[in-house]
Structure 1
Amino acid sequence: MGQELAGADAPGGGGAKSSRRVRYLRDEPVPSAQRMVVGDALRVRREQLGMKQEEVARLLGRSTSKVSRIESGQHQFKEEDLARFFAIYLVTDPEEQSQLRELAKQANQMPWWQPWAGVTQRHLQAVVSFEDMAQRIRSYEPQHLPGLLQTEEYARALIASGGGDARQREALVTFRMERQMRFQRAEKKLICVVDEGALMRGYGTPRIMRQQLEHLLELADSPRYLIRIAEQGRYNVPVHIGSITIWDFSARILPTIAYQEVFDGGLVFQDEAQVDDRARAFDRLREASLSPQRSVQRLRDLLKRTGR
């Protein structure tokens, strides 16, 4: 099920409501990032021309709901539909047409995660599509380490704690390792705040946690991974923002998007004011956390405590 919810109060927003909507992802057809790019570009064109969805639907000979689904990235694009949009919106630049056609083609192709579609939740598949296109990822997880930082054995122990049969659990581990491999191959950057409580909350065995801490120390040597630790014993660290991921894209692809996972799905924020509020909240948490150098030292201290 996918829903658009009235804008929720943003952190520090004084209770003001957003005029845009928040997308709740659960088990709807995955609104891939590529489809959202094309849909958002078409929506911007329509609004620039001062046209309503109803008017566009009439010119297309389609329903208003279909125009809405196309703009929100929930509908596959057909070449003939794109050509008619171009004509209605006066998109005459060959380069712009070519870029949108290529993105629509990519969106209609079978994604790399299709072999895992039977064991992964659909909102997670949408997350992966954003992750694939993002140039930079900002992340905070209060309960456990983010998936892009996990060793295979830590991931296996964490996934096992959530239940499910052995085959499904092992498939999810393989899926998580594939995500990591694709991230490592790409020229992307991860800025991550790690909650110290997540480091002290063990999964598996002491040996698995030692290996995980060693892995974090290795990643911290790379300029592509910026890891800072939110101290557990320090007062007034603003960890109340909860689990959050912020995807930063190249300027010509998509505006920054924020994502917050909930119990049975996820909330996607695209409204500029709501995204800015969450980005500022994340940056406050990052600044209140240990510096990268002190975070490395804390990891070494924790590694010593686990013993050999």
Structure 2
Amino acid sequence: MLGARLRSLREATGISREDAGYEIRASDSKISRMELGRVGFKVRDVADLLTLYGIVAEADRAPILDLAREANRPGWWRRYAEVMPGWSEAYLGLESAATLIRSYHLHLVPDLLQTEDYARAAVAQTSNPGTMSAEAVARTVEMRITRQRLLTRPDPPKLWAVIDEAALRPRIGSAEVLRAQLAHLRELAATPNIVIQILPAEYGGHVATGAFTILRFAEPELPDVVHLEHLTGAIDLDRPEDVDRYEELMNRLSVDSTTPDGLTAHLDRLAAAIER
């Protein structure tokens, strides 16, 4: 976000990367990396660039300098480095900055919507099953629950999740765990910033993709990002042609899924079908 803001200010004044780099005793490639968010920020450098770009009023400078300080602050997820896959740190940073999170989930309830018991069962069954220590499972679950605070912070993003009905069948944990998870989804759906839809079984087979997430940000200069996870890592797509394809698919999935008003009845039917 900070890099995009600095780039828009520089371009608005017609100043080259070379001239901007000279101002802060750096190269044009350093300015490029700053504007792409691929390097740390010195508050002094940001202050000098703002002066160069004509941003001199304190009321205009203060929010951007605050953003520079925030950009250098370690994310909460650093506390869980020992149980985090290396690729997830970049995604968690994007997720925490997003204003809209749209996602489709095929096999599991999304992490942001899981109960603690469901999360524990999911981690134990799907994350190198049989090889994770009890402590690692507990730390991973703790991290997942901490991550969910994103949805209850003072300025929460809007979460719009489409969950394939296959993910709500009794495969994770016990019947009681799944029944409690369905009840949790019902409660969360009543939250103003959360929309949950279920893709019925008769439609799920036509989706020629796995799970994916589309992130949108408040800064108009930042493109939407599509996040895709696979067995050994993840990729993030931001080319307009790629993002457009996934947004079209997301819209089609939403049309084929239950309406928000019909969610409760659908969850009740699934809960009633769970054998004790």
In structure 1, the partner of 2:183 is 214
Unmatched 5+ stretches in structure 1: 1-36
Instruction: Please list the CA deviations of residues 233-290 of structure 1 after superposition, one character each: whole Å capped at 9, or x if unmatched.
Output: 23774x3343222223335685543322233333333445543443232112111212
Tell me whether 1:280 sits opposite 2:248 in the alignment: yes
Report the Cα distance in structure 2 between the residues aligned to 1:265 and 1:184, rounded to whole angstroms: 28
**Which of 208, 216, 224 is the equivalent residue of 2:193?**
224
Name the Cα RMSD after superposition. Answer: 2.6
Report the Cα distance in structure 1 between the residues aligned to 2:191 and 2:43, rounded to whole angstroms: 43
Alignment TM-score, normalising by the size of structure 1: 0.77
Residue type of the partner of 1:190?
L
Report the Cα distance in structure 1 between the residues aligned to 2:32 and 2:97, rounded to whole angstroms: 23
Q: Which moved more, 1:65-74 or 1:281-290?
A: 65-74
SS in structure 2 of the partner of residue 145 of structure 1: coil
Instruction: Please list the CA deviations of residues 74-125 of structure 1 after superposition, one character each: whole Å capped at 9, or x if unmatched.
Output: 2221122112322443333433321110011111123222211232134323
SS in structure 2 of the partner of residue 228 of structure 1: strand
Shift of 1:155: 0.7
Report the Cα distance in structure 2 between the residues aligned to 1:165 and 1:50, rounded to whole angstroms: 56
In structure 2, the partner of 1:102 is 66
Report the Cα distance in structure 2 between the residues aligned to 1:39 and 1:45, rounded to whole angstroms: 10
**Which of 106, 121, 141 is the equivalent residue of 2:105?**
141
Residue type of the partner of 1:297?
A
Report the Cα distance in structure 2 between the residues aligned to 1:300 and 1:54, rounded to whole angstroms: 62
Report the Cα distance in structure 1 between the residues aligned to 2:118 and 2:172, rounded to whole angstroms: 6
**Which of 202, 211, 222 is the equivalent residue of 2:171?**
202
Report the Cα distance in structure 1 between the residues aligned to 2:34 and 2:117, rounded to whole angstroms: 41
Report the Cα distance in structure 2 between the residues aligned to 1:304 and 1:103, rounded to whole angstroms: 49
Change (3 A) 1:189 1:65: same
Question: How do 1:125-136 and structure 2 match up within 5 A?
Answer: 125-136=89-100
Unmatched 5+ stretches in structure 2: none
Question: Identity over aligned residues, as a percent?
Answer: 32
| Aligned residue-pair number | 271
Report the Cα distance in structure 1 between the residues aligned to 2:225 and 2:65, rounded to whole angstroms: 23
Residue type of the partner of 2:236?
V
**Which of 168, 171, 187 is the equivalent residue of 2:139?**
171
Shift of 1:228: 0.9
Report the Cα distance in structure 1 between the residues aligned to 2:20 and 2:239, rounded to whole angstroms: 23
